[in-house]
Chains A and B, each alone.
Chain A
Amino acid sequence: MLMRLIPVFKGFDFFPHDLNLPFMKVKGPALVLSIIAMVVSIGLIGIKGLNYGVDFKGGSLIELKTKSGNADISALREKLNSIGVGSVQIQEFGSPDDVLVRLEEQPGGEAEQQAALKKVVDATSETYVERRVEVVGPAVSSELRMTSFIAVAAGILAIVAYVWFRFEWQFALGAVLALSHDVIVTVGIFALFQFEFDLSTVAALLTILGYSVNDTVVVSDRIRENLRKFKKMELNQLLNLSINETLSRTILTGMTALAVLISLYVFGGEVIRNFNLAMLLGVVIGTYSSIFIAAPLLGYLGVKRDWSDLAAKAVATSKTKAKA
């Protein structure tokens, strides 16, 4: 019995498959742009500094909700400035009946932090309810800063080790540069706009690492496959082909991730807004870096081309064995 099989595409092909965008033509400008972005980011982090949250700076954060009606921020500010707890920062937080009060780290150690917290709670207990309290002492905040830094560095190292193990050192170097770029530029944007930088931002950075390397690995995989397939193709052309072949996947996955993150940003509540912001930035930057940094670097570094030779040799030996 004969089956007639006809391949048919249903569903949308948003990105025509024969689209051959000349990514490699702009690799020079893109690299320059990335290097500038990294230098500017490092400069911003150095000059403007990061707006550390209580996790990293120490101090207290108190989220208050009015018992009824909207919060009167100026009255609250006046009151809290008079109770002698140093500089008090008050901001709206989500809905108009929520306020966020931040206290600087009190001189005199942990006991003073607790005393200041008590003063604030006592002064506000008539009109407000506490929703959330965070107090981080100096010892803990410096530890958190340190472990977070180590976590991000170790994350990059672990990924690089894996990529090196699975691919070649050129791929690993490309990955580490792309990842460092993602982290540095994201942190740079946080410094530029003085977004609050806390533990959840670090969690986001680590996830960006995971996401970005995911992208990089998919492209690298394709490059390796094409290296076997097109032995004679010019390297830049091959890299370009590989990026284009995986482009529709890159974009669709990026779109689903962005859809989810935007929904989390809009509906997910105030508490994880920072986390989301970092993730949103990171997904965009991470996608960019896989295409414009990790892959072109392979072109500059040169990459082992004899994959197919090895494979062919393996096939040949197995064939001779089979014959014998």
Chain B
Amino acid sequence: MLHFTRWKIIATLLTCLAGLLVALPNFFPKETVQSWPSFMPKQQLTLGLDLQGGAHLLLAMDQDEIKKDWINNLRDEARKELRDAKIGFTGIGTQGLTQLVVKLAKPEEQAAALKALNKVRQPIGNALLGAGAYDVEVSSGTEPGTIVIKESDQGLRQRVANAASASIETINRRVNNLGTSESTIVRQGADRILIQFPGLKDTTDLKKLIGETAKLTFHEVHPSMSGDEAKMTKVPTGFKIYPGDKGESSGEYLLREQPVVQGADLADAQPGFDSRNGEPVINFRFNQIGARKFANFTKDHVGRPFAIVLDDKVLSAPVIREPILGGSGQISGSFTVEGTNTLAVQLRSGSLPTKLTIVEERTVGPSLGADSISAGKLAGVVGGIAVVILTILYYGTFGIFACVGLLVHLILTVALMTMIGAVLTLPGIAGLVLGVAMAVDANVLIYERIREELRLGKMPVSAIDAGFQRAYVTILDSQLTTLACAIIMFWLGSGPIRGFAVTLTIGILTSIFASVTVVRLLISYWLRAQPKGRAIYVPV
């Protein structure tokens, strides 16, 4: 056990050296590291949000809204397919949020209707792998002359996934407009989106920016009936009552549900000021399609109001004075300057497919992060000194070797974390410090064995040899069980548990090398340095 081949010595020393080199940048300030020559590694440990400050937002999509949109779309499509196929129907009703029931006028047209309605199905996923799978099932209902269109779970999953990726794209665009870099926006689970924003102090703007879907639509206002009147009597088909924005005095509006132009047709939106009264407004421009639709509509409706609707609330309902042919216009409302900035960004980045709610928010100020780092450092130094004192007091010279092993363990852990780009969190620091205490356990096991073997009367060299050999199994067993625990933590845990698990796992991996191989190498050198022909005192 104590004999090292030449290549093994070289490999051990090289590993230590490489570890030191990789870990080195972490012990200097960033600016110093930047000025180092190019051959030196410059990568530093990534600090978690809790240490460098920043915001962590977990957003959830509204699945019910996605379902509602989908079922409404399906109903429109089904209606269209039946009309195109000239099949009469008495009604299409929704059942819950996942099912449509079509009642045919003539039951004998069942087969033809089924064929027509099959067109609303969309194949799911990969064309090669998912052959034959559709997002909805079309089948005959239990009563004659009815057809049931049922959404599948797979279909819903795909809708949610699509909405999530669309949302991520939109948030990305909005956030980029905020001018902050280094943000991470990823999907988490089925219907969640995680945003991490290192270094962000104030989340108010961020939250405002992602809090609105920003679905902008332009609607025709009912020519003769007001929202209040419609409420008293009956809402005409194709129309819907929309609430006004808070600033608007005149309560509710009766608008045609189908918008004239949608936000998707916007080419640009910029904040600006009204030239007449100096109020903040948003100047917008449509793309070609939008401009054409808007021109046609305004030509036909001169002298009548149209409504600008944002997220189903009426911002304003100006009267069309003359046809707007150029495709650009102005939105006024009761805006603040900041409000127009945010809204312009939201409009430019497109609308979110569904509203996102913040289900978890964790923000840490940069000053607290810095405080945590210094507290962690202080605790680490004090704890480290305590371990060193205890070990040397207990084991003498061999205790010093153990401490060298601990140092190597610490450096290698930091190096490995830097290399794989692991994130250091506050619990991670605790894990690092605790790892030092646990790593000493391997040496304790070995040294206790050596003591026992010496007591049994073995000669020093064979006692040391036996100590390493016999303790090795125990060390492996105890470290592997801890490793199992750490892997579970990483796999199932979240937040602080994960950060801790990462450092613990890496710490376990390096501790065997550091406290067994490195310490063994030191001891074998020490043995060789003993004067020949004289007594060897084993200093444990």
Q: Identify the A interface with B (CB < 8 A).
A: 1-14, 17, 55, 63, 65, 109-111, 113-114, 117-118, 129-137, 139-140, 144, 147-148, 150-151, 154-155, 158-159, 161-163, 166, 199-200, 202-203, 206-207, 209-211, 213-214, 217-218, 221-222, 245-246, 248-249, 252-253, 255-257, 259-261, 263-264, 266-269, 271-272, 275-276, 279
B360, A17: Cβ atoms closer than 8 Å: no
A213, B485: Cβ atoms closer than 8 Å: yes
A11, B481: Cβ atoms closer than 8 Å: no
**Cβ of B532 < 8 Å from any Cβ of A?**
yes
25 A-B pairs (CB sep. < 8 Å): A5-B459, A5-B536, A7-B454, A12-B393, A13-B451, A118-B204, A131-B365, A131-B367, A132-B364, A139-B60, A139-B359, A155-B489, A207-B431, A214-B478, A249-B445, A253-B441, A259-B390, A260-B383, A260-B386, A260-B433, A261-B383, A268-B376, A268-B429, A271-B368, A272-B430
A269, B363: Cβ atoms closer than 8 Å: no
The answer to whether residues A257 and B378 also contact, given A5-B535, A248-B448 and a CB cut-off of 8 A, is: no
Residue of B nearest to A98 (CB): B368
The answer, among B397, B429, B501, for a CB contact under 8 Å with A10, is: B397
* Chain B, 379-420, CB within 8 A of any chain A CB: 379, 382-384, 386-387, 390-399
The answer, among B359, B434, B477, for a CB contact under 8 Å with A217, is: B477
A3, B486: Cβ atoms closer than 8 Å: no
A-B contact count (CB 8 A): 277
Chain B 441-465 per-residue mask, 1 if CB under 8 angstroms from chain A, else 0: 1001100100110110111110100
A133, B363: Cβ atoms closer than 8 Å: yes
The answer to whether residues A131 and B368 also contact, given A7-B458, A137-B360 and a CB cut-off of 8 A, is: yes
**Cβ of B129 < 8 Å from any Cβ of A?**
no
**Cβ of B480 < 8 Å from any Cβ of A?**
yes
A65 to B429, CA, bound (A): 24
A3 to B527, CA, bound (A): 13
The answer to whether residues A3 and B533 also contact, given A163-B481, A259-B383 and a CB cut-off of 8 A, is: yes
**Cβ of B537 < 8 Å from any Cβ of A?**
yes
The answer, among A166, A206, A252, for a CB contact under 8 Å with B394, is: A252
- Distance in angstroms from B505 CB to nearest chain A CB is 11
Specify which chain B residues have a CB less than 8 angstroms from the CB of A255 in the assembled complex. Answer: 390
- Distance in angstroms from A214 CB to nearest chain B CB is 4
Specify which chain A residues have a CB less than 8 angstroms from the CB of B58 in the assembled complex. Answer: 140
A159 to B485, CA, bound (A): 7
A9, B363: Cβ atoms closer than 8 Å: no
A264, B433: Cβ atoms closer than 8 Å: yes
B362, A134: Cβ atoms closer than 8 Å: yes
Interface size on B, residues (CB 8 A): 96
- Distance in angstroms from B61 CB to nearest chain A CB is 12
A276 to B375, CA, bound (A): 13
* Chain B, 345-363, CB within 8 A of any chain A CB: 357-363
The answer, among A140, A162, A266, A267, for a CB contact under 8 Å with B484, is: A162
B368, A210: Cβ atoms closer than 8 Å: no
The 9 closest A-B pairs by CB, nearest first: A269-B375, A11-B396, A259-B386, A263-B383, A260-B383, A137-B359, A151-B492, A268-B379, A210-B482
**Cβ of B497 < 8 Å from any Cβ of A?**
yes
A9 to B396, CA, bound (A): 9
The answer, among A130, A161, A162, A202, for a CB contact under 8 Å with B497, is: A202
Q: Which of A154, A162, A263 lies at the interface centre, i.e. has the most chain B CB atoms within 10 A of its CB? A: A263
Residue of A nearest to B483 (CB): A210
A8 to B457, CA, bound (A): 11
Specify which chain B residues have a CB less than 8 angstroms from the CB of A222 in the assembled complex. Answer: 474
The answer, among B359, B481, B500, for a CB contact under 8 Å with A207, is: B500
With A9-B540, A136-B360 already in contact, 4 other A-B pairs whose C-beta atoms are closer than 8 Å: A114-B358, A137-B60, A199-B497, A214-B438
A11, B474: Cβ atoms closer than 8 Å: no
Residue of A nearest to B201 (CB): A130
**Cβ of B207 < 8 Å from any Cβ of A?**
yes
The answer, among A63, A139, A213, A249, for a CB contact under 8 Å with B368, is: A63
**Cβ of B534 < 8 Å from any Cβ of A?**
yes
A199 to B484, CA, bound (A): 20
Specify which chain A residues have a CB less than 8 angstroms from the CB of B454 in the assembled complex. Answer: 7, 9
The answer to whether residues A150 and B492 also contact, given A8-B538, A11-B395 and a CB cut-off of 8 A, is: yes
- Distance in angstroms from A189 CB to nearest chain B CB is 20
- Distance in angstroms from A64 CB to nearest chain B CB is 10
A10, B396: Cβ atoms closer than 8 Å: yes
A209 to B430, CA, bound (A): 16
A17, B477: Cβ atoms closer than 8 Å: no
**Cβ of B496 < 8 Å from any Cβ of A?**
yes
- Distance in angstroms from B432 CB to nearest chain A CB is 10
A199 to B425, CA, bound (A): 14
The answer to whether residues A218 and B481 also contact, given A4-B534, A131-B368 and a CB cut-off of 8 A, is: no
A15 to B538, CA, bound (A): 19
A183 to B190, CA, bound (A): 32
Specify which chain A residues have a CB less than 8 angstroms from the CB of B363 in the assembled complex. Answer: 130, 132-134
- Distance in angstroms from B374 CB to nearest chain A CB is 8
A98 to B526, CA, bound (A): 53
The answer to whether residues A206 and B493 also contact, given A140-B58, A214-B478, A259-B387 and a CB cut-off of 8 A, is: yes
The answer, among A17, A139, A140, for a CB contact under 8 Å with B452, is: A17
A151 to B484, CA, bound (A): 12
A268 to B426, CA, bound (A): 9
Residue of A nearest to B495 (CB): A199
A268 to B384, CA, bound (A): 13
Residue of B nearest to A222 (CB): B474
